Amino acid sequence: MASSTSSPSFFPARRGVRLAGTGACVPDKRLTNADLEKMMETSDEWIVQRTGIRERRIVDTEHGESVKHLCAKSLERALADANLKGTDLDLIIVATMTPEMACPATACMVAQMVGAGHAGAFDLNAACSGFVFAINVAHDLIKGGAYNTVAVIGADTLSKLMDYSNNGRGTAIIFGDAAGCAIFKATDDTSKGVLAQSMHADGEGWKDIYVPRCSFDFPQGTPFDENKIDVVQMNGATVFKFAVGTFPEVIQQTLDKAKVKAAEVDMFVCHQSNQRILHAARDRFGLSEDKLYVNIDRYGNTVGASVPLCLDELRKAGKIKDGNKVMFVAFGGGLTWGSSLWQM
């Protein structure tokens, strides 16, 4: 249990924030493009050419697998990586748009599952931008002295909000399920932590990605359709255009804020929305292939999980190390977009 006696003072000495460990969890069940060809009028060729996706993982709902299981497993793996126990955590933030239930927060269930005692726990919803927003929040809570050890999980199971028929083919082909976790700790090394960050939203764009729950949730001019209830409605082409413009813009603004050049950043860890969007950002900054990671071919767009899933793979492969500069970038429903540039 995180006791009050272990809570840091609110008048901290200058402190930095370091990445202590990462973990990830994807479901075992695969949904390949060949599987989708049997469910709707689509083709492996179309999906690969338009998105770069070859397969995604989805939860096995028949056996009760859900977002909280993915979260807990990713957190357990991050705790092991950081050589910590659940009781060492002061706070758990779960960034998700597919919580286990409306109440309690998924983070509370996850805290109980990993034995985190009375650590604070809450969910944060910024759709695909959720993990990036949450690490910005976690960083500043540690930096300000309120908390010492914070776990941030990005997790989503969009498969439960898909229409795997012809009607949903423009959306269902891109999403997959996953969870990824990063644990941050206070450090005496004041050079470590966020160099610049941003969080943005444009509520005008809410109707470009939404999940209607009742007839009143449909935008004006869109007729009510019972089959669309609890199914992601996405204006793919509009979101694509928004993303192609926003990605480089937010990267440039963050670099400018930190007075850092793109070439000085060791790794760009970007939301895996569409391979074409990622390649466009790579070209815009003249980055080599190994500086902007892409794993969308294996997992699809895993929403809040996509950035921490990349982070975990990169760390385990030794491609993100102590001393590196790493930029996290994401955009998604809201519309939201944000960034976080770290000195690791």
Q: Which residues bind ligand UT7 (CB under 6 A)?
A: 42, 46, 50-51, 128, 169-170, 173-174, 209, 234, 236-237, 239-240, 243, 273-274, 301, 332
Q: Is residue 33 among the annotated active site residues?
A: no
Report, in Å, the least distance between residue 63 CB and ligand UT7: 27
Q: Which of 71, 148, 301, 310 is catalytic?
A: 301
Per annotation, catalytic residue among 69, 139, 200, 271: 271
- HEC-encoded secondary structure of 160-216: HHCCCCHHHHHHHCCECEEEEEEEEEEECCCCCEEEEEEEEECHHHHHHEECCCCHH
Q: Cβ closer to ligand UT7: 173 or 183?
A: 173
Q: What is the nearest approach in angstroms of ligand UT7 to the Cβ of residue 232?
A: 9
Kindly tell me which of 101 and 237 has the beta carbon lying closer to ligand UT7. 237
3-class SS of residue 14: coil
Quote the least distance from Cβ 108 to ligand UT7, whole Å.
26
Which is nearer to ligand UT7, 48 or 287 (by Cβ)? Answer: 48
CA dist., res. 253 & res. 212, Å (int): 34
Which residue has the closest beta carbon to ligand UT7?
Answer: 236
Active site residue 128: yes
Nearest distance from C-beta of residue 102 to ligand UT7, angstroms: 23
Q: Catalytic residue among 25, 71, 108, 128, which?
A: 128
Give residue 194's identity as a one-letter amino acid code. Answer: V
Contact indicator for 314, 293 with CB cutoff of 8 Å: yes
The encoded tokens of residue 287 equal 């980055």
| Beta carbons within 8 Å of 127's beta carbon, 6+ residues apart | 97, 209, 303, 304, 332, 333, 334, 336
Q: How far is the CB of 333 from ligand UT7 (least distance, A)?
A: 7
Q: Is 271 a catalytic residue?
A: yes
* CA dist., res. 173 & res. 176, Å (int): 9
Non-local (6+) Cβ contacts of 114 within 8 A are 72, 75, 76, 79, 86, 89
The residue count for the chain: 344
Residue 138 or 330: the one with the smaller Cβ distance to ligand UT7 is 330
Q: Between residues 51 and 339, which has the closer beta carbon with respect to ligand UT7?
A: 51
Q: Which residues are catalytic?
A: 128, 271, 301
